[in-house]
Amino acid sequence: MATLQEPVTMPKPAKPLPEPNSDFYELAETLPAEELAVVKQVRTFMETKVAPIITKYWIEDAFPFELVPAIKGLNIGGVAMKGYGCRGGSALMFGLIALEMARVDVSIATFFGVHNGLAMGSIYLGGSEEQKQKWLPPMARWEKIGCFGLTEPLVGSGASGGLTTTAKREGDTWIINGQKRWIGNSPWCDISIIWAHDVADNQVKGFIVENKTTPGFSVEKMQNKAGLKVVQNGEITLQNCRVPEENRLQEVKSFRDTARVLKMTRYMVGWEATGCAMGAYENALKYTQERFQFGKRIGSFQLVQDLLAKMLANITASQCLVVRMAQLHADGKLTDAHAALAKAFTTAKCRETVAWARELVGGNGIIADYNVARFFNDAEALYSYEGTYQMQNLIVGKAITGLSAFV
Ligand SMILES: Cc1cc2nc3c(=O)[nH]c(=O)nc-3n(C[C@H](O)[C@H](O)[C@H](O)COP(=O)(O)OP(=O)(O)OC[C@H]3O[C@@H](n4cnc5c(N)ncnc54)[C@H](O)[C@@H]3O)c2cc1C
């Protein structure tokens, strides 16, 4: 990052200024030892390996494959999943990893979330015993990387009842036709979880499709994104792809089962949004401690402190909310509406927080080198992916009124 040279004539502070700390209510103190150890491990990885290089990759729209061996070394593949070579651990641990990653870079958190949450999660929740034994161990070792193909060019929010991708059974083979859009990791990964409607019963079914060896499967990388640029999103075309029945997720009967996966990944986005806001806040706060205007550090101005306090309040509220959500999960009580409320609230607060961070860094706030612009742009993706703000609120609205507003 460019340095903010302190003018030689400016007074030094009477005592050293505090290091930015976005854990104001000391939630880390409450973590069990195993979770705390993982937080420290992931934080060190993100600060020492990812932070120094990620802005360059973000600017270049490229994925840092050089980091994959170190990600493997973290031993977090299959976190919160039991057996099948997975890391195991709690949903709290899963959330904390996502938060710590997003605190430095939302794209890396998303890469982790798509592979571990959406792709492995689909097999873990929707696969048969044989399917789990076959696919989860190499995925937990990051030898096979996955993606999750639900959204289509013409169908986003309405995916539950409107998928146009079709699956037609012919003996022990399924013929899949259609298009998927926005699919993270798909331009280079190994396995796609493809959601399609079965033309026979009109229900949504899930399929494990091998990207590199299935004739008729092609992917085009999406270009010119203005956010989450490190994640490689693709537009997938499936043209008469023949997928064996043994690759149909055997426990998936309808979109309700897809929603079980989305509940866990929306849970995770709540953590990611909290981490994203923390990263932007910490970088902006440091800037206000170092930047001089009118002969003073801008952090000493009342209106600047007002914004910082509001940012910290957003972050602290989000942290408390996602930690409580983890408790609900541990008690077996987490509902779709709980996850939806957290996804909507934390992403909205994140969006507000990163915008204030951008504001505090002035013009430099739109230069990627100052480590705030990346969070600012990436927050937009969090707000919309895994179901938009409006879709989450409709899920909550249905739960609290007993009335569905979905059309
Ligand atoms: C960076 C990024 C990564 C993504 N990664 C993946 C991925 O890996 N896999 C995947 O399957 N998808 C992925 N997505 C897709 C994402 O889930 C969709 O973008 C999202 O669900 C919204 O769909 P849409 O973009 O088609 O918007 P639309 O559904 O067209 O919505 C446009 C606007 O209309 C509003 N709207 C729509 N219907 C209603 C209604 N009934 N009431 C009120 N408002 C409504 C929406 O809230 C939104 O504001 C990704 C998206 C992004 C941006």
385 lines ligand 1 (CB under 6 A): yes
| C-alpha span between 18 and 28 (Å, rounded) | 18
- Compute the distance from residue 157 Cα to the ligand 1 centre, in Å: 5
Indicate yes or no: pTM above 0.85.
yes
Please report the pLDDT score of residue 87 as a whole number: 96
- Residue 96's alpha-carbon distances to 34, 51, 239, 323, 399, in angstroms, are 11, 18, 39, 9, 27
149 strand-pairing partners: 194
395 lines ligand 1 (CB under 6 A): no
- Compute the distance from residue 276 Cα to the ligand 1 centre, in Å: 20
Q: For atom 34 of ligand 1, which residue has the closest CA?
A: 157
Please report the pLDDT score of residue 8 as a whole number: 54
Please report the pLDDT score of residue 331 as a whole number: 97
| C-alpha span between 61 and 13 (Å, rounded) | 40
- Compute the distance from residue 48 Cα to the ligand 1 centre, in Å: 34
Cβ atoms of 112 and 97 closer than 8 Å: yes
Q: What percent of the chain has pLDDT over 90?
A: 95
Provide the token pair at 366. Answer: 């739109």
Please report the pLDDT score of residue 404 as a whole number: 96
Please report the pLDDT score of residue 7 as a whole number: 55
Residue 394 C-alpha from the chain's centroid:
21
Half-sphere exposure of 14 (CA within 13 A, CB side): 0
196 strand-pairing partners: 205
Which DSSP letter does residue 113 get?
Answer: I
114 lines ligand 1 (CB under 6 A): yes
- pLDDT band, very low/low/confident/very high, at 251 (cuts 50, 70, 90): very high
| C-alpha span between 379 and 350 (Å, rounded) | 7
Best mutation site among 120, 145, 180, 182 for ligand 1, i.e. most ligand atoms within 8 A of its Cβ? Answer: 182
pLDDT tens-place string over residues 148-183: 999 999 999 999 999 999 999 999 999 999 999 999
| C-alpha span between 362 and 365 (Å, rounded) | 5
Q: Average per-residue pLDDT in the chain?
A: 96
What's the mean pLDDT in 363-377?
97
Provide the token pair at 204. Answer: 């949504």
Please report the pLDDT score of residue 11 as a whole number: 72
Q: For atom 32 of ligand 1, which residue has the closest CA?
A: 157
Please report the pLDDT score of residue 389 as a whole number: 98
Of 286, 307, 295, which Cα lies nearest the Cα of 359? 307
- pLDDT band, very low/low/confident/very high, at 407 (cuts 50, 70, 90): confident
pLDDT tens-place string over residues 197-234: 999 999 999 999 999 999 999 999 999 999 999 999 99
What's the mean pLDDT in 340-364?
98
- Compute the distance from residue 388 Cα to the ligand 1 centre, in Å: 6
Please report the pLDDT score of residue 12 as a whole number: 79
pLDDT tens-place string over residues 98-135: 999 999 999 999 999 999 999 999 999 999 999 999 99
- Measured on CA atoms in the order 178, 183, 189, 195, is the torsion positive or negative? negative
Q: Amino acid letter at 252?
A: V
For the chain, how far is it from start to end, CA to CA, in angstroms?
A: 48
Closest ligand 1 atom, CA of 394? 42
Best mutation site among 151, 180, 186, 396 for ligand 1, i.e. most ligand atoms within 8 A of its Cβ? Answer: 151
365 pLDDT higher than 80: yes
Cβ atoms of 193 and 136 closer than 8 Å: no
What's the mean pLDDT in 358-373?
97
Q: For atom 48 of ligand 1, which residue has the closest CA?
A: 388
Q: What percent of the chain has pLDDT over 70?
A: 98
360 pLDDT higher than 70: yes
187 lines ligand 1 (CB under 6 A): no
pLDDT tens-place string over residues 297-343: 999 999 999 999 999 999 999 999 999 999 999 999 999 999 999 99
- Compute the distance from residue 369 Cα to the ligand 1 centre, in Å: 29
Q: Amino acid letter at 349?
A: K
89 lines ligand 1 (CB under 6 A): no
261 lines ligand 1 (CB under 6 A): no
| C-alpha span between 374 and 367 (Å, rounded) | 9
